[in-house]
A = this chain, B = another copy of it.
Amino acid sequence: MKIPEQLYKDIEVIGGIDKIIEKLPDENRMIRQSQIYDALSSPLRLKILNLLSIQPLCACVIQKITKTSPSKLSYHLSVLTENNLIEGSKEATWITYSLTELGKQYVLTKL
């Protein structure tokens, strides 16, 4: 494999390709991280997270604000829940959703 001369030198200084690989984060950590990003990769789900950062809400209010069908909303709420970004607490007929600590971190980190 031929590579640019300067790059070759840079890699030598680091200690070779093996040293670069060693510096990488743990594989499982990257997989978990990518799953969280995947949960965040939908405009509707970001809207839900932002809503819940303003005020914990029951699904029916979220549904009204976001104008989604019940089953569609339920699907997206489940994606967020499974990834530990929100949690629901049941009270009578309603389930009130709120951000988890993890969810708060991501909503507040507006990059």
Contacts and interface: CB of A to CB of B under 8 A. Distances in A.
A71 interface: no
Contact of A34 (B41, B56, B110): B41
Interface SS majority for chain A: helix
B34 A46 contact: yes
A17 B65 contact: yes
Interface string A53-67: 011111011001100
Given A34-B41, A58-B7, A91-B4, A65 B21 contact: yes
18 contacts: A1-B60, A3-B61, A4-B92, A4-B94, A4-B96, A7-B56, A7-B57, A7-B96, A17-B65, A20-B51, A21-B65, A33-B46, A33-B111, A34-B43, A37-B40, A38-B38, A41-B41, A106-B111
